[in-house]
Structure 1
């Protein structure tokens, strides 16, 4: 196998009545003989996304003649029902099996019953453009806008981001989530919802979920019947957060009589207009940063919700 050659293995299976395709890509490392990188992606509906971390294996066998075992199994009940799976990918060499990939948090299904999540608050699509979707929601009595943005990376490959805005402030929840589409982004929609979590003060903490939705393509009819099947969609969960902190008119005094509330200094805020040009392009904090810390909003920050 030449150093630049890439071999792709494709496996098909069905989970939650949703047809899935898994792609295992084997690529030779240019600087290390007999070493190969293995990567995994999944296509559901019209969307392909990366799963798990890339790994490296040393092979003394032909990488063009590999055999894999790819399977999913439900770990237990879930909400929505029938959408949660454990994913496993094993490599078989002779009579030896090597586990390559494992994911215990694969959420995918066809037409899940989201109404079964009785305490969920769902966002509603209010505005859509070619590269942006705005969903409106109520989270902890606060009116929130969730903004989905598409950015074209190359033909068929897009970078996805999600941020929110409420009361004139907001932040990015995740960005640079790359998806490969065989359709226009306008074909894709989202299911965003929050679930309240017991907290003090009440209404301050929520679980937040973002699912992607694409039309399910039915097989071509074999008969001449002209009736069209009912609309059906494939859903897959892209992102989650278990500690989304937001609320309206929160009662912080509910924290108890040991609460000590800060009082704003009468001379604050203080504006250093004369020094702005000196600090252009630099961090304006009074203290140096703590260092790189993984953001809870990144797509790779996984919290188990079982």
Structure 2
């Protein structure tokens, strides 16, 4: 896939979604299957390291369902929910080699097996899926490396699901970053009063979607348009092409775009609606416009 042991932002295989981060990884080390073999729609699944049997079983079933329907599962390869969801994907791949391959993002370099309990899973992931890290081989796991990893999971994912999380869970960091990046955030409700329910209840209270039925959730994902990377840019007027470029430049802020183009509010609303119907932009819950076609911007020039 590549001549060097890592990808840089200038490499064609570097994931374009990472460019939405304030500080994209300068290097991405890679093991396993090429990134080009991953299914374009990516769901991040994160949760408690000290998960309950209920949470582990649910995560494993969710991983299998996503893989079976051609959706890439992205997680961190930690204990608990991370490991369970990847095991579900591998279960499905062992039944059907056409299932979607998993993606794991590590919070350390290759020279370290962390946690040690996941060494076998690590080897399975290198065989069946893709492993990524921004850290050089000699970087050990540290308190600061895991939040750094979480931002990559959030950026790579189109949707993030939290399965069990305590009040201080790192999964809440991932969910918060995903929300900041205008990704959909879903949470699987757990038993009130249990330690692993506090974070999930917090997410649901702040507007996360409630995931009650895995099959319905997966069906809803495969009914929506695939990520822009799997599409070509539709026919657009010169005005709408210019609007897309300005939305990218101004990060969805319509005010300066109106001033720069000297358009009326009615005209810009009309053109934004046209772009929304093409699946190129969407309006988030804050009322701001977000691009859904970052990787297609090169086709505008």
TM-score of the superposition, structure 2-length normalised? Answer: 0.24
Higher relative CO (Cα under 8 Å, sequence separation at least 6) belongs to 2
- Name the structure where helix makes up a greater proportion of residues: 2
- Name the structure where strand makes up a greater proportion of residues: 1
TM-score of the superposition, structure 1-length normalised? Answer: 0.24
Q: Which structure is larger by alpha-carbon Rg, 1 or 2?
A: 1
